[in-house]
Structure 1
Amino acid sequence: MLNLDETREQELYDTIIIGAGAAGLTTAIYAQRDKKRTLILEKSIIGGNAAITKKIENYPGFTIVSGPDLMNKMAEQAQIYGAKIETGVIVKAIEKTSELFIVKANMGDYLAKSIVIATGSTYRTLNIPGEKEMIGAGIHFCATCDGAFYRDREVLVIGGGNSALEESIFLAGFCKKVSIIHRNEQFSASKTYVDKLKDIQNIEILMNKNIKAFLSDENSLFKGVQLEDNLTKQVSEVYATGSFIFVGLTPNTAFLKDIVNLTPDGHILTDGYAETSVKGIFAAGDCRQGAIAQVAAATGEGVMASYGVKAFLSH
């Protein structure tokens, strides 16, 4: 364990935010405006999942805005107020002393009086040919974010849980046709969603189908999928202008095991002010249990976490 006496010369922050997505950046803006010395640690690119969303049409104040542009503006605002951002930092653990927190990372150790976990979540992928290359070019993970681009067109929905069926019903409201592809014989979604499908004429259901590959056109844009029937092993192709994958989200919280209380699937449990089971450690955004996976919601989560930090530091 790190000896705190050996780190006295290090910079001490009022709060360290782990994750530079919408929740983390908003927390930093509010905390720094409140004169709290703030550092954001980000392992990858600034902006999280929103940074790979080409167009956002449901963020208040913007009819349409690119994800990277919106996230860059948030980061710029946080830095204008004095927050520091370090990228390429992979946090491995958090240790608590009697007074401070030690964030242990690949770039060294950091000291803070409080911590905000805003690591977000990662969309589960299928890991099949063509998928990685066409994410954002016909392959999506959020119907609310990207569905409007396929108005009056045909789309595919991959998955069989509540999210897949809920988003299929949403897409059917303005898409010409929605084809749901599920690998099993029955949906895992609740009966309520399954029953709703029966009354929607423009939804097609393809069960017992495994996706073998995503297909692209001459411009490297999505054009369909190659399927294999689980029973007959017959291979076929289904064409559409876009596809939405809903096979779950994985919260980026593996490093928090045995540090704060998590749900069985890895989401962080918090109280009303976003505080975790450890006093002084807060959570905001998709990694938190009960959070809504939307940029606008994530900013609200960041505000809530900043108020939690403020209250904690005032004691």
Structure 2
Amino acid sequence: MDSNKEHKVYDSIIIGGGAAGLTTAIYAQRDRFSTLILEKKNIGGNAFLTEKIENYPGFNEISGPKLMERMEHQAKTYGAEIKTGEEVSAIEKKGDLFKLTTIMGTYLTKTVVLSTGSTYRKLGIPNENDLIGSGVHFCATCDGAFYRDKEVIVIGGGNSALEEGIFLAGFCKTVKIINRSKEFKASKTYIEKLNSIKNIEVHIDSSPVEFTKNDKDLFKGVIIKNNETQESKEIKADGAFIFIGLIPNTKSFKNIVDLNDKGFITTKNLAETSVKGIFAAGDCREGAIAQVAAATGEGVLASYGIKNYLK
């Protein structure tokens, strides 16, 4: 362990190396504030898992890993330090500073940015993990274009599921919505609109039990079971989109900053949390839009919060 770590005081330590965290570092470093990004896994967050991004300004098409690689390079070019494999286990206020503890040691900083993102809620059924990114997706805006004039499955019954299902119906051959409840949880506006779209097929009171593969080990469809009759059948398609919610990666912060009832960090003004000097940006924040372009904007906002606080 490097005993000098605790002696260096950063202007800001950013927890999480996704698009929001990297953008915060880029802007903060340009303002000559020293920054350190601590990331427990890989740099890039959920965007790193996206095969192709077609809605990020300036690029008709770019892979998620490539875009994140460019952001990481830019942050480092401006002087940001990045450490992976570093999970923050504690944040303590020490006078005017914050002390962050990880398995590798401790760090001191004047401000903290929480940009730990969120995790797509999975179904937990056979073949799901094998097919993620190649048949099973969590973002219609990101990956829907691959299924133009093809058949897709949408799993979920809330606003996100119906909104994305209606979006996909605009260019897909058919959209088959699977909802485990007898009624949709979505708002009446979406439900009414759903009934007017001819290429949407609805399967209610049915639970997905297994994703299926063809003889080439590629996506084939999903087996669903009727919750009342217990009868099973396979629904075939070219791909599937899961919209059953997001889990914010904020468990470690529940006793540090205010969270809403779903675990997302509440903020105000310039990405400020309930604790002065701690900011939040990206998908872990209440009201965030799960898009790379939106996350970068939140990173800019957090950098201005840092600047305003350090003045």
TM-score (norm. length: structure 2): 0.97
Match of 1:61 in 2: 58
Shift of 1:227: 1.1
Decide whether the 8 Å contact of 2:6 with 2:107 is kept in 1.
Answer: no
Q: Could you give the per-residue CA deviations for residues 116-154 of structure 1, whole angstroms, max 9, x where no partner exists? A: 000000000011100000000010000000001100000
1:134–1:8: structure 2 CA closer, same or farther, 3 Å change rule? closer
Shift of 1:8: 8.6
Decide whether the 8 Å contact of 2:24 with 2:302 is kept in 1.
Answer: yes
1:103 corresponds to which of 100, 104, 107 = 100
Letter in 2 for 1:299: T
Tell me whether 1:221 sits opposite 2:225 in the alignment: no
Decide whether the 8 Å contact of 1:134 with 1:220 is kept in 2.
Answer: no
Q: Which runs of 4+ in 1 moved over 6 A?
A: none
> Percent identity of the aligned residues?
62
Match of 1:129 in 2: 126
Tell me whether 1:274 sits opposite 2:259 in the alignment: no
Instruction: Return the alpha-carbon distance in structure 2 between the equivalents of residues 30 and 170 of structure 1.
Output: 34
Instruction: Return the alpha-carbon distance in structure 2 between the equivalents of residues 284 and 294 of structure 1.
Output: 12
Match of 1:115 in 2: 112
What number of residue pairs does the alignment pair up?
A: 309
Instruction: Return the alpha-carbon distance in structure 1 between the equivalents of residues 51 and 63 of structure 2.
Output: 5
Instruction: Return the alpha-carbon distance in structure 2 between the equivalents of residues 55 and 170 of structure 1.
Output: 18
2:179 corresponds to which of 178, 182, 194 = 182
Match of 2:140 in 1: 143
Q: Could you give the per-residue CA deviations for residues 98-126 of structure 1, whole angstroms, max 9, x where no partner exists? A: 21001112222111000000000000001
Indicate the larger mover: 227-236 or 137-146: 227-236
Match of 1:262 in 2: 259
Decide whether the 8 Å contact of 2:6 with 2:108 is kept in 1.
Answer: no
Letter in 1 for 2:13: I
1:191 corresponds to which of 177, 188, 193 = 188
Match of 1:205 in 2: 202
Q: Could you give the per-residue CA deviations for residues 46-72 of structure 1, whole angstroms, max 9, x where no partner exists? A: 100000000000000000000000001
Letter in 2 for 1:128: I
Tell me whether 1:92 sits opposite 2:89 in the alignment: yes
Structure 2 spans left out of the alignment, 5+ residues = none
Match of 1:50 in 2: 47
Letter in 1 for 2:195: K
TM-score (norm. length: structure 1): 0.96
Q: Could you give the per-residue CA deviations for residues 211-256 of structure 1, whole angstroms, max 9, x where no partner exists? A: 1100112332211001111111111101000100000001100001
Tell me whether 1:304 sits opposite 2:301 in the alignment: yes
Letter in 2 for 1:91: V
Decide whether the 8 Å contact of 1:158 with 1:247 is kept in 2.
Answer: yes
Decide whether the 8 Å contact of 2:159 with 2:185 is kept in 1.
Answer: yes
Q: CA RMSD in A?
A: 1.2
Structure 1 spans left out of the alignment, 5+ residues = 1-5
